[in-house]
Amino acid sequence: MTEKKPRWKSVSIPVEVWEKAKEAIESGELDMYHTPSELIIDAARRRIEELEKIKVVAEEYELSEEDVKRMARMEHTNVANVNGKTLIAVKDRTDGRIYDVFLSRSPHGQLRIFCDGDKSFDCAHVKYVRYIIIPKLNELIEYYRKKKKKEE
């Protein structure tokens, strides 16, 4: 007799997280989900997809395993314009800090990416912005450009 592999596993989450998920669904803001479980499953799926994306990028640009680990712990939290430079704030769960990463143009027009926290042009935060965030921003810009064109 073969044993059936269970299709579901249970996990425990803090009540506070469950209630926030429930509120967001019931308020209609996240009404694409029917239950907190659906929302939480989607959140986990997105994180795993993000990691897959980082791995693909890491292979393409020959980044180290350490870079992959660091980048998987990052998320961009804000984009702002500061004195003519674009600032991308990156939260790094390795140390819980927010790193300010600035984009600017060199006198020759080349894109420069500088991490103010590390005073570096090639730390893990710079790589995260260069290989993960900028392509994502470009996708968004392209999306809104097409959408605007359609509306005209």
Q: Which residues contact Zn ion by CB under 5 A?
A: 99, 115, 118, 123, 125
Q: How far is the CB of 117 from Zn ion (least distance, A)?
A: 5
Cα gap 96→17, rounded to integer Å:
20
- Pick the closest to residue 53 from 133, 116, 138, 123 (CA basis): 133
Q: How far is the CB of 149 from Zn ion (least distance, A)?
A: 37
Tell me how crowded residue 129 is: count the other CB atoms within 10 A of its CB. 25
Strands (E), the chain: 74-82, 85-92, 97-105, 111-115
Sequence-distant (6+) residues with CB within 8 A of 86 are 79, 80, 102, 103, 104
Closest to Zn ion by CB, 21 or 130: 130
Closest to Zn ion by CB, 21 or 124: 124
Closest to Zn ion by CB, 75 or 118: 118
Q: How far is the CB of 73 from Zn ion (least distance, A)?
A: 12
Q: How far is the CB of 101 from Zn ion (least distance, A)?
A: 7
For residue 16, is it left (φ>0), alpha (ψ between -120 and 50) or beta? Answer: alpha
Closest to Zn ion by CB, 22 or 69: 69
